[in-house]
Amino acid sequence: MKALLGHFKAQQDQVNYIELYTQLKGFEQLFSNPLDQSGDFFGAGYLRTNTQGIGLMGKILNPAKWLMNHGDFFSIDKKIQWVVEEEAYGEGTPVKLKAQHLTPLWLGAVSFDELYRLGLVECSPQIAEQLGSVFNGRTYPINHTDF
């Protein structure tokens, strides 16, 4: 999937708009900017008539400090060394991910299994199985703020 998206990126000087229809959960995590810039227009003359807001965005501003305070919050069989953007916290088996994926993972907006399947997390299969049960993404963040 990353290779296909890389090919599309390489063609950006020739193509203005690409439509991807997928039911792959967590797919938006592959993009650095997953905003919909279609302008509510789809090819062949279709216009979008129904849109939906998704709520607030969260961001962990200092991943190293966050992990220092919360990294051992969830317990699994083995000690984990979280490696976020080449900064490491803890000792043990390394789990590598980008800072942009730490917040949705921690808040439950995406499961560890989704990030692992998409190749956005590097770790051993055993650790992936254990963290998949801890960060299962079954409880999405809910916001009842009246804007």
> What number does CATH give the domain 63-134?
3.30.1050.10
β-strand partners of 121? 97
pLDDT at 147: 61
Exposed/middle/buried for 99, CB within 10 Å: 0-12, 13-18, 19+? middle
Coil, strand, or helix at residue 136? coil
Please give the backbone phi and psi of residue 80, each rounded to the nearest 5 degrees, phi first. Answer: -120, 140
CA angle 128, 95, 112 (to 5 degrees): 40
Beginning with the edge strand found earlier in the chain, give each strand of the sheet holding 87-89 in spatial order.
87-89, 80-84, 93-97, 121-122
* Tokens encoding 30: 């592959």
The pLDDT tens digits along the chain (147 residues) read 778 888 888 888 887 777 777 777 777 778 777 677 777 776 677 777 776 665 667 788 888 778 777 766 666 667 888 898 888 887 888 999 998 888 888 888 889 999 999 999 999 999 999 999 888 888 777 766 766
Listed in sequence order, the residues at least 6 apart from 38 whose beta carbon sits closer than 8 Å to its beta carbon are 17, 48
pLDDT of residue 30: 81
The residue extents of the domains of the chain are: 2-47, 63-134
- Which pLDDT score is estimated for 120? 93
pTM for the whole structure: 0.65
CB 99 within 8 A of CB 60: yes
